[in-house]
């Protein structure tokens, strides 16, 4: 049976830890659905599974792109589906884990993603405008031609804003309208992990402090020494951007750390728009009130075929 397990929820809630526990118990393999963990050399700031954790359970779609590469949602979806099918053919359980909503749902809902080739000249023009501080203006322009896409894209995610404008420019059709959904050939069970906001923020703040202790500043320095600058999509992500401002003297280290925590809180809130507590497809568990054994009950029922 083509069974597929998904584990979703906000950042810092414990998805990776649960995935490893379930993979060990069920003979599973983990398929990454975190849009930052695909990048090589970015380990601490992305909370990437450690080499020890990756030795315990096979992990896929981690360290597959360089930070200076433009890695598209369509590329991710194709690789993820190919990986899932390979795991299933080996009679293992694929476990899709991550908080990147577009990555997760593109696979679980079977999105038809527009195959529109990049237009380097058009894209460069928009990137230059964004570098001059017109990111919000670009998002407003997207809202004028494709309000549905604009609602789904964070105004600070300039790369996705530019891509949606690029698709509209090339096809004269809104990016959102070009998408369609075709249910994938998988029998899917989705676990959602949640916590009340105060607990979640405490967990996020503790994780950010650990990242600093583990050497996030040195990690960013190494990336810069490799020639990766902060205009690259990967390097503009939370943690890396703020440490970059510290290294350039624009922020103190305590100020950068506080900004990382604040921005990660905001990210967690935004992730609940992708993974809604009212979504009946997701089996939600509060991490403060739920033991792994309580999750195993409905999951085992699914694996025995009762949800077929």
**pLDDT digits 0-9 by tens, 144-156:** 999 988 988 888 8
Average confidence (pLDDT) over 273-298: 94
Residues 6 or more apart whose Cβ sits within 8 Å of residue 246: 217, 252, 253, 255, 256
Average confidence (pLDDT) over 38-56: 97
* Angle formed at CA 195 by CA 194 and CA 200, multiple of 5 degrees: 115
pLDDT of residue 289: 92
pLDDT of residue 151: 87
Instruction: Give the count of alpha carbons within 13 A of 255, CB side only.
Output: 8
Is residue 225 within 8 Å of residue 42, measured between CB atoms? no
Percentage of residues of the chain with pLDDT beyond 90:
74
The Cβ of residue 230 has, within 10 Å, a number of other Cβ atoms equal to 18
Sign of CA dihedral 200, 203, 207, 213: positive
Query: What class, spelled out in words, does domain 120-178 have in CATH?
Result: mainly alpha
The Cβ of residue 220 has, within 10 Å, a number of other Cβ atoms equal to 24
Q: How would you list the strands of the sheet with 93-97, edge to edge? A: 59-60, 28-32, 93-97, 3-8, 187-194, 282-286
pLDDT of residue 169: 87
Higher pLDDT: 153 or 239? It is 239
pLDDT of residue 179: 66
Percentage of residues of the chain with pLDDT beyond 70:
97
Average confidence (pLDDT) over 103-110: 95
Angle formed by the axes of helices 197-214 and 216-225, nearest 10°? 60
> 123-127, 250-254, 292-296 — which is least confidently predicted?
123-127
CATH 3.40.47.10 fits 3-113+181-304, yes or no: no
What is the bridge-based pairing of β-strands 282-286 and 187-194?
parallel
Is residue 95 within 8 Å of residue 28, measured between CB atoms? yes
Average pLDDT of the chain is 92
pLDDT of residue 116: 75
Burial of 260 (0-12, 13-18, 19+ CB in 10 A): buried
Tokens matching residue 301: 């029922």
pLDDT of residue 178: 66
**pLDDT digits 0-9 by tens, 64-97:** 999 999 898 989 999 999 999 999 999 999 999 9
> 210-224, 254-268, 286-300 — which is least confidently predicted?
286-300
The CATH 3.40.50.300 portion of the chain extends over 3-113+181-304
pLDDT-derived band at 30 (thresholds 50, 70, 90) equals: very high
**pLDDT digits 0-9 by tens, 178-214:** 667 788 889 999 999 999 999 999 999 999 999 999 9
pLDDT at 308 over 50: no
Average confidence (pLDDT) over 43-51: 97
The CATH 1.10.20.140 portion of the chain extends over 120-178
Q: Is 305 left (phi over 0), alpha (psi -120 to 50) or beta?
A: left
């Amino acid at each position: 049976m083509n069974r597929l397990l998904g584990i979703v929820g906000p950042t810092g809630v414990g998805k990776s830890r649960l995935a490893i526990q379930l993979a060990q118990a069920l003979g599973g393999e983990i398929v990454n659905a975190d849009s930052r963990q695909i990048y090589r050399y970015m380990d601490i700031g992305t909370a990437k599974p450690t080499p020890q954790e990756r030795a315990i359970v096979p992990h896929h779609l981690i360290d597959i792109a360089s930070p200076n590469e433009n890695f598209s949602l369509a590329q991710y979806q194709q690789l993820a589906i190919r990986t899932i099918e390979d795991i299933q053919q080996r009679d293992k359980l694929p476990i899709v884990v991550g908080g990147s909503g577009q990555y997760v749902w593109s696979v679980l809902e079977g999105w038809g993603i527009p195959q529109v080739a990049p237009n380097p000249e058009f894209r460069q023009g928009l990137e230059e405008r964004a570098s001059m501080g017109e990111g919000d203006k670009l998002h407003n322009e997207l809202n004028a031609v494709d309000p549905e896409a604009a609602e789904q894209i964070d105004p600070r995610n300039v790369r996705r804003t530019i891509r949606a404008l690029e698709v509209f420019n090339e096809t004269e059709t809104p990016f959102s309208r070009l998408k369609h959904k075709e249910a994938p050939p998988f029998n899917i069970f989705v676990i959602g992990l949640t916590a009340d906001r105060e607990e979640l923020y405490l967990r996020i703040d503790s994780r950010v402090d650990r990242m600093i202790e583990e050497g996030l500043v040195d990690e960013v320095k190494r990336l810069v020494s490799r020639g990766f600058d902060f205009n690259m999509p990967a390097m503009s992500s939370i943690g890396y951007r703020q440490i970059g401002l510290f290294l350039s003297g624009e922020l103190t280290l305590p100020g950068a750390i506080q900004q990382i925590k604040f921005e990660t809180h905001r990210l967690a809130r935004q992730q609940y728009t992708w993974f809604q507590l009212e979504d009946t497809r997701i089996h939600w568990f509060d991490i403060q009130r739920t033991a792994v054994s309580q999750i195993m009950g409905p999951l085992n029922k699914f694996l025995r075929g009762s949800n077929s």
